[in-house]
Chain A
Amino acid sequence: MLLTIEINGQQVSSKRGETILTVLNRIGVKVPTLCHLSNLSPTGACRMCVVEVEGLSHLVPACSHQVEEWMRIHTHSPRVLKARKTLVELLLANHPDDCLYCDRNGTCELQELSEELQVRERKYMSRNKPVQIDKACPSIQRDPAKCVLCMRCSRVCREIVGVSAIDAVGRGSHTRIGTSYNRGLNFNACVRCGQCIMVCPTGALTEKKSIQQVIEALSNPDLYPVVQFSPTVPAAIAEEFGLKSSKDILNLLRAALKKMGFRQSFDASMAADINIMEEAALFLDRLQKNTKLPLLTSCCPAWVRYIEVFRPEFATYLSPVKSPQQIMGTLIKQYITSSAGVKPGKVFVVSVTPCTAGKSEAESNGSETRLVDAVITIRELIRMIRLLGIDISNLDPEPADSAFSISSSSGRLFGISGGHLEGLIRSINFMSSGQELSPLKINDLRGLKPKKEAKVRINKQSVNVVAVSGLANAIGFIDEIANGRENIHIVEVMACLNGCINGGGQRTGTDEKCLKSRMKALYDIDEEEMVKVAHKNPVVNELFEKFLSGPNSQRNQEILHKTPLKTSAI
């Protein structure tokens, strides 16, 4: 139902049930927000978006208050501006004055707010509370001193991720974001997905940095540093440096990595191809024996951690194949560099991923030696590129320096929810029938929906597959399975909503527009790439011949399957 309201003297039509903020956004009036996130439930906690409604004694939050027929709204009246400014001043009173040293200097929303509202002096005395930085977790670091208690992290953790690893504790000015029993992130339900970092407006939540370690390795003449990067890295780098996301960007990235001092760079999509081959064979085996179905994919370390910690009863359904990052690490350390004559102990493998959980995964892989020595997020890579003075836009693109960098577009599709499944089905179909799937593209598995279901015919058999992203959605789905939903064959899970394109290690300031362009970049590659299926990747086939054995063989299991871990929440 349409109704007319008045905003700053202008007649505006709006729908019943809309929030004031929705209407304001539509007509181009910007009110500052802090706790608001479009895909989370509004809480109206920060009060930054308050507006004046004639006839009401107090100001109302635009984000959670719905429009009503009679409303005459003032969004920037003196009373409103004074209130907003005071609120920011109150937040700043307890906030450390160390912007220059902060991880988020320049990208901090609190900085933005105080600039916007022209806060120019410290009006209120601070009561400095001693706080401890929680840095035991290999993926995520928390600095409670910088927290403004907008509760975005705790809401993401509850509503999108579904584990509630962090939430508010204490009352009044003693309120803080805490972990269970105050034992820190390393000893609680956290699955390390890093979505909390993505929504944190300040520098309270950051990834645990490995930049220093990588720089030291790069300058250590005794080491042989190599790098692998995930399929979504090129697009993000293009965004950050204002480059066109084309095929060239891959080679520009390679050039930049070379300039940084990496001796070789590998595209982890190749390892994704291997992952597909192994998993396809494994699935056909399970399908034939009709056991351990549905197959749950295991390329997302946050999801794997969730199953290990919360739902061990599902662990047998989980694919035992290592994630692409770990497969790449294995291959580099055990085959590629040694065949090039480098001593295994000297190789230092760095992985660039949009994933904070990858850091934890590399640390605890079950074997004694590390397969990946350091994992850096895309944010860290961007910092390193800047730190090392690399002007990426003026570099000459450099082709792949190793044969092992060839990958199919199926491997690239790992970067988006549904993509892994799509590549997997292509190879399953080929392995089982000897023919290519036609058409190769599975439209049901594409797009930014959190849950995508598809029914495909493979060798006269109907196979039902589901791709779920956002761990909370995945939890809901496996609950469905636990409650008796049958006839599902493969479930692909990505803990971050829409998969790695929205990973916890992605660029700061990722929004829906970014997601769409990153998605498009990956789908475009699938259109343009010659090799679209893993089983046609010549390097993979060569590896299977020379180093590995046939898919799902004893030898492959030894090398490519992971050692099961025992983890618990507390």
Chain B
Amino acid sequence: MFKHAVSELKEAILCLRAGQVTLGYPFEPHSPEPGFRGLLILDPDKCIGCGACANACPARLISVEDQDGHRTLDFVLARCTYCARCRDVCPQQALAMSEQFETATSSPEDLRITIKLRLVRCRECGAVVGTQRQLNRVLNELPSQLGLPPEKMDWLDLCLSCKRTRALREGVLTVEVRA
């Protein structure tokens, strides 16, 4: 009995020593640590529409649809698990996890990002080659690596099969590649 009383006293002292620890939230902000994986944000100027994020997302919430002259990427963030795989694979660092966690809403449609980019179609057969921004990136990086002026890279708006056909028809392209 005595031991129980001592134990209860110790518990009471424990609680009293802890004191009041309640945070001031919601009357004061309580920001998360840096690196917190909050709501996804997309930088529309950086996205090239490659779809790597759509491939990596475990919840399959990113859909890539090509229609007529546009490619639409649709992010249904209602089922996002905040794993940040999309951010890790994006070659343009267009995706980032913000620190926003106050994302309550009465309609999951509020958690949706859509981006529509211009599509480039093959000049021979009309198949999809890629988005204009993807081609722009190739034009920015490839000429210096191949040692070719950009005007000479006239195969860029051909799809894979037409590129092959052209290479066979006109002989194998030889390119001097700098080591």
Mutual binders A and B: no
CB within 8 Å of A: which residues of B? none
Residue ranges of A at the interface with B (Cβ–Cβ < 8 Å): none
